[in-house]
Amino acid sequence: MSDLSGLSDGYDDYYQARLWESLPAMYQAMDIIGEDTPGPLQELLNRIGAQVAVARRGIDGLWADQSIETCADWVIPYLGDLVAAQPVTGLDPRGQRLDVANTIHWRRRKGTLATANAVASDITGWYTHVSEAFRRLARTRHDLDPPPRTGEGGLADLRSVPVALLTPGPFDETFHHADLRRGPAAGPPGIQALVVYCWRLLSLQVIGADPVRVAGRPDEYVFDPTGRETPLFLPPPRPAARVTRPWQVPGPLTAAVDRMMTEAGVPAAYQISAVSGPVSGSTVRPEAGRFRLTAPPGEPVTVSYYRGSGGPIGAGTGTLAAGTRLLASGERLVAGGAGLDGALAAARGGDTVTVADSRTYAAVADVACAAGPAPAAPLTVRARPGERPLVRLTPHDQPGERTQWVFHGGAGARLVLDGLFVSGGDIVLRGPFEHVRITGCTLDPGTRAGGAADQRPDAAARRRRRHGPAGTIREPDLTVGTSVDGRPLLPVRVWIEPGPAAPGRAPGPPDVVRCLEIDRSVLGPVRTRAGGLAERVVVTDSILQGFPTSAGPAWAAADIFDPVLLYDQLSPGRAEPARPRAQQGPLSAFIWRTAGGEIPPAARRRLLTGQEPPASARQALADALNTVAGRDIYRPGRWAGVQLSTQTRALLARDERDERDGRGGRERELLNRLLLEDAYPLALAPAALAIAEATVRLNRATVLGRVHASRLHATDSILHGFTVAEDTEDGCFRYSAALSGSRLPPRFNAVWLSGGAALFTSTAFGHPGYGQLLDTADRAIAAVQPGAAGRGLLSGSSAGAQLGAFPAQAVPAKERALRVKYNEYLPFGLVPTIVHVT
């Protein structure tokens, strides 16, 4: 029967009250112990009432199981037997339910184009458009044909720009010669082809956001509030709407489609508004997400548009997180692009700060999250469901420093960040927290310059000077992109660090984040520093990304992620209870002998305080590491016990060949940097996830970058970066994929990935296909664990879906189910050809 136990039906309270009220008043009076404390007789009746509620739910479940719309998932095949519906292995419950519900309807109309389109959309869950290819075949005209005309059904109009841009595609208006080839190479035009065009990306709406002005062009803007050039999308069509026009699909908006919508009188897929109303007179380039105002209104403008996404994760998905209160007592509402800093400064544990629009907020305040009068209630900073507010932090005015949004913890502190979009700075969790939850958020993971995976400059660029004028700190050469208003698109890092030590207070247990939960979010790196600790980190249905943000093998201040830890690991005589992470060994001793003298006394005092030091101390460590940049530092004994990444091993082998050939170490500086990143990953490696002493659990997660954890549990996840689990006896790596050469816990149905193969449509945040697996992703598999034959990225999860953050795509399973159903409902001789438009 249907599982109705999780519903708030009130049956427990109802039957408990009915049983208690049916008891004679004399026995009620004899059973009273206290005002709020039930006596033994009432407690017994309450337990009986709970069982009566279970029986009532069972009866309701039996009634619900009579209908395909309300039945439990396990009942679907049994109802399918009643209508002789052919079951499909691997189809998700939603597709199975629609298959059974529409079986009679489809059979009555089998063989028609409308049925073929309905089957495709219901089985796959994607927006589809089905066309019969033979209707687009060119042929010799005869006298019985109607007179030729331009447009659809006639000759191609060579003067029509939209017709040319729509060729080829799902709404092609031109005619083609038949493609008579066999096999997968055959194109859509063919006598037997039934072409099924599929739009797999979601189209999500953004309402009332602040555009970003393009530097040097006063009247030109981009729609994206972070200053990226992101393509606009068309709105999703209404349910059950018949797709007949190019603007009725949730795909990328092009200039040709925009022009066609204007000519047809259809409202535009975007809107530019001011306080006085909609702004007229603008030139829009939807492919780049840009617009230029030909008649500026003289007041700030806002934009509403649609954006593409691979799944319902990140800010602005329009869903309310489970357990989130829709209305909260003492809620502080913020709107209009201002006032967020004041609301945050006044917030305390148990309060809720809600941003009620999608405007951009530049000013924030540090937040005190210590437990208030109600310890169970967290401090919540959230966006109203359906809104996508952006917290775009102002760049720091000091060289080498990042703007920080600090959340101060305390005993029993709880924090919830829900639906926020943060860019331009870092988020710091300072002090102890009982629970921190980041749900439905986008913490800008940054964008690489040019989209390269790991940019390293050429030899000439490596010889640049590493220092500026005396007394200054050189800004690192960045490998990140730049927004249209000139800001570097650096990733937002989540830092876990201890709180400041109270003067005169005896040392106590270290500050720990008991649980950091990340759900349905897109994040940049998550790291610990300065002795910060986390007990558990749980990542579910999310994307985490990390990449080098500075160019070249030379170390800069920004490359030292945890200077306190690095100094502890390198400096001698520090192995004591107060500094438990001191790492004494031949490697640390060698680096200290070679470079320790380069650290000035003032920087040493800063590093000994145990708190995050200024950029000058980090630069001093970077200068010390640069003294060993060109030396031959690798000796097998020094790196004993260090897990070297695949890239490091390949470069090390190349360096050894150069030495044998007498050419010297041409890439010695880069090799030494990679070696040091592998030896000190928490302090130096540009990782996506680097957590000290934590148990990391990844469930349906995509990690673009390195992972370093004490203990690792991964299920249905993709770790597209070098991964090291310190404790390989604890944890499990099941139904997941990791880069070759990684050190993992016990594996079950796992696959290894090759380093240079392409996996995703895009790894550049802001691209609609960000994190979406390619149809050819399985070609990147280098090896499969014995006993896991047939497992892959596209259908290798524990549920038969694809790995990573978008399991609902399940491309092979859905296409296999569609072909099975088409065998029943298509006319004989037609061959379905599935084309992925997005």
Least confident range from 102-106, 152-156, 649-653: namely 152-156
CB atoms within 10 A of CB 94: 13
Q: Which of 70, 72, 63 is nearest to 3 (CA)?
A: 72
Q: What is the pLDDT of residue 155?
A: 64
Tell me what pLDDT residue 145 has: 63
Residue 440 has a pLDDT of 93
- Confidence tier at 582 by pLDDT (50, 70, 90): low
Q: How many residues are listed for the chain in this entry?
A: 838
Q: Which of 293-297, 549-553, 570-574, 758-762 has the lowest mean pLDDT?
A: 570-574
- Amino acid 19 reads L
Q: What is the DSSP letter of 185?
A: T
Residue 821 tokens, joined? 């159903």
- Supply the pLDDT for residue 456: 40
CA proximity to 382, closest of 358, 408, 416: 416
pTM metric for this prediction:
0.87
Instruction: Give pLDDT, residue 765.
Output: 92
Q: What is the pLDDT of residues 512-535, one digit of tens each?
A: 999 999 999 999 999 999 888 999
**For residues 582-606, average pLDDT:** 76
- pLDDT, greater one: 135 or 573: 135
Q: What pLDDT sits at residue 665?
A: 62
Q: Please check the confidence at residue 373 and state whether its pLDDT lies above 70.
A: no
Can you read off the two tokens belonging to residue 715? 């299920």
Q: What is the mean pLDDT of the chain?
A: 82
- Which pLDDT tens digit goes with each residue over 305-338? 999 999 899 998 865 544 455 556 668 899 999 9
Query: Which residue is listed with tokens 């065998």?
Result: 823
Q: Which of 105-114, 274-283, 690-699 has the highest mean pLDDT?
A: 690-699
Domain boundaries, the chain: 11-64, 83-191+828-836, 202-309, 327-445+491-549, 447-462+473-489+554-562+571-685, 694-757+780-808
Tokens 């000190």 belong to 680
pLDDT band for position 466 (50/70/90)?
very low
| Residue 2, pLDDT score | 52
Q: Return the structure tokens found at 724.
A: 């090291």
pLDDT tens-digit profile of 375-424? 568 899 999 988 999 999 988 767 667 889 999 988 889 999 999 999 99
Indicate the range of 452-456, 544-548, 618-622, 698-702 predicted with least confidence.
452-456
Instruction: Indicate the pLDDT class of residue 237, thresholds 50, 70 and 90.
Output: confident
pLDDT tens-digit readout, 783-814: 776 665 667 888 888 888 889 998 877 788 88
Q: Say which residue the tokens 């290819």 belong to.
A: 133
Q: Is the pLDDT of residue 127 over 70?
A: yes
The β-bridge partners of 406 are: 428
Rg (CA), the chain: 31
Alpha helices in 366-481 (DSSP H): 459-462
* Cα distance between residue 57 and residue 225, in whole Å: 49
Closest C-alpha among 759, 750, 756 to residue 792 = 750
Residue 834's pLDDT is 86
Residue 474 has pLDDT above 60, yes or no: no
Q: Which residue has the higher pLDDT, 10 or 683?
A: 683
* 131-145, 265-279, 439-453: range with highest mean pLDDT: 265-279
> How much is the pLDDT for 14?
81
Q: What's residue 458's pLDDT? A: 38
- Is 50 exceeded by the pLDDT of residue 461? no
